Amino acid sequence: MPLPQLAVIVFMSAHDAIKAKNKLEKARIVHELIPTPKEISSECGMSLRIEKPLLNRALELFRTTDLRYRNDLL
């Protein structure tokens, strides 16, 4: 079975990463906090990995808050 494509959301601050994690948990959207992958950004700190089909739902959820992030495909 092919693995679903993954999207990575990179946060400006750990504060936003935790806020996003809480939002996703509440909405029961499967996700994982990971160290930001090198190929995406040289920043350290936290990113969120999510299956691509769930990305739009997650971004919709973030849109109503003032989360500071950018997203990328892995």
64 contacts another protein (rule: CB under 8 A): no
Compose the 20-59 pattern: x for residues touching another protein by CB under 8 A, - for all others: -xx----------xxxx----xxxxxxx------------
User: Could you tell me how many residues of this chain bind another protein (CB under 8 A)?
Assistant: 23
What are φ and ψ of residue 26, in 5° steps?
-60, -40
At how many degrees (to 10) do helices 52-63 and 14-26 cross? 110
Closest by Cα among 42, 25, 26, 44 to 34:
44
The secondary element (H helix, E strand) that includes residue 69 is strand 69-73
Taking the least distance from each CB to another protein, the nearer of 5 and 13 is 13
Position 18 contacts another protein (CB under 8 A)? yes
Residues near another protein, by CB under 8 A: 12-19, 21-22, 33-36, 41-47, 66, 68
